[in-house]
A and B are shown apart, each in its own frame.
Chain A
């Protein structure tokens, strides 16, 4: 995001001034500004000079407008609420992929790991009567373990993660089929814990509004504290007005979302978990030593090594995170259809997860991106899928459109990277 801290008073147009009819450019700018502020509140200064999440937000708006024109039910509370649950499974996997992309690697095994975890849960719980909570923990830990194994092999042997996880893709898929054996499809308990993950809604209106208020409040307090400490030691800081505009923008988006969700069945549990996971991992990435090391590895492994980082440990941990998130995502996907079959974790899942991270603005070259990019990316992908379904468009077209969006995202990533480098040389 540009000029976030030093340019305290460059905001001519806040959202409140955007009502004047005769000043369209100004009004457009105010909207863009609000969106920018919303995204920027979550982004690190690392992104200075970047386009940020603006392109993907525009794509998302365009997708929504087009489908709303094609079918007036697209933006209905029911469809948007379903969308908010549909994105969770793949979205969680994509968040794990963001970690791997940040260190400049790629994890091709997340689809297989998600299927493996789901199969493990189903076989343990349904076929062998293991209590749900225990089976759930075992499934998630198995994802962590598998990720750790892959990460350690990749970090130690220095074989690119691409190859290690390609082997993993086959291995874990094979293991899943082995575990499922001849049982084919296993149906989960419709009222069980895992099924509830995606079927439970907080029907009380207060839940969604409360979440919106807490979210906006936390962001405001964090920015305000930051400003106070900076001011105390005489450092450049954001103006109160800028903080207000940012948190205000965020609050507007959050409350509109809450309003829409409450018009259907309330706040979905799955969506809540998704947001908490994304926000939590965002804090890990941007505000902890471990996160800083992840970014550093994306900026240059050798530089990181010379700065006395324990490269093997960080790389292993990154793939462990992606394995864990894949397992959790796999459970949500299984929960959505309350069954696990030999097709679980297959198909376009892997590609969608990687595409979501990249479309959202995480760089394939490593070192740039946040967990929120996975949210934006998966929203685009699932919106296209949902819009296609609602307008009875064949899947073939859906693939082509998603492919086009992904291609555009990669080109934008590459161009912005080149611009930055050219800028650096000048």
Chain B
């Protein structure tokens, strides 16, 4: 029996009113592994991210952290476990500067007051590791380019040394160069032993980066694939539902 996965979802369900957005979702993320979460629009990918990150907790089901059951009811809980999230809309405060955004919710204090110098120093060190173009640390985030904002959002997620990173469409708004940078970064994070859940529409990114792919369709699991062995067509047909008599949970599932 191998070590339990870092993060596992067992039968997680979520509904908004009468709409079942997520039903009986199973998912495992292991250390040093990139799991791609794929699915068409409205498949429930972003909702699943919000469930894991505690923004909108699950109605039913169990979340396990290293084999033991945990409760994630608010973003704070997820952060304390070591789960960091980069949202699709980045969720940055446009009026705050880079430093302010990075340390929002975990400001460093000195004699009870904010320690701007220390926060700025750490921000600078962190960004120097991440990006080639370090933006002006004291510029309000609203004045940065989308690529720079993405960098800020990722830097913020890495600040607390997380063990699992959730990336919701991290490359959707980026150009080629920046996409490569982000993907390289994810690669390095995997090598450092983080578990990564990568939501992406881009089959190329997934093929290049992910170890596993989990497909959602209409709020249900619709297949798990080993990205290295499964064909692109298999995955795509699972996303679109082109396969007949979609095996909901077990049939398409390969051994992890």
Binding site for B on A (CB under 8 A): 5-6, 45-46, 48-49, 226, 229-230, 233, 235, 283, 286-289, 292-293, 295-296, 298-300, 302-309, 366-368, 420-421, 423-424
Contacts and interface: CB of A to CB of B under 8 A. Distances in A.
B117 A49 contact: no
Contacts of A299: 92-96
9 contacts: A5-B138, A48-B97, A235-B124, A286-B114, A287-B114, A300-B94, A306-B87, A308-B75, A421-B142
Most chain A CB atoms below 10 A, which of B55, B92, B142? B142
Nearest to A367: B95
Interface stretch (B38-46, B103-111, B199-207, B210-218): B103-111
Contacts of B223: none
B208 interface: no
B104 A424 contact: no
Contacts of A286: 114
Contact of A420 (B53, B74, B105, B142): B142
Given A235-B117, A295-B93, A296-B104, 12 more contacts: A48-B97, A49-B140, A233-B117, A233-B121, A288-B114, A293-B104, A296-B96, A306-B55, A306-B85, A308-B105, A423-B143, A424-B144
Interface residues on B, range: 35 or more
Nearest to B85: A306
A45 B107 contact: no
B114 A46 contact: no
Given A48-B97, A292-B107, A303 B91 contact: yes
Most chain B CB atoms below 10 A, which of A368, A420, A424? A424
B142 to A, nearest CB: 5
B112 interface: yes
A17 to B, nearest CB: 29
B117 A226 contact: yes
Nearest to B142: A424
Contact of B120 (A235, A309, A366, A420): A235
B79 interface: yes
Interface of B: 53, 55, 74-76, 79, 85, 87, 91-97, 100, 104-105, 107, 109, 112-114, 116-117, 120-121, 124, 136, 138-140, 142-145
B74 A308 contact: yes
Contact of B95 (A229, A233, A298): A298
A295 B114 CA distance: 14
B130 to A, nearest CB: 18
B31 to A, nearest CB: 24
B152 to A, nearest CB: 12
Contacts of B93: 295-296, 298-300, 303-304, 307, 367
A45 B75 contact: no
A307 B75 CA distance: 7
Q: Which 9 A-B pairs have the closest CB atoms?
A: A299-B93, A367-B95, A45-B138, A308-B75, A299-B95, A307-B105, A308-B76, A303-B91, A307-B104
Contact of B55 (A46, A305, A367): A305
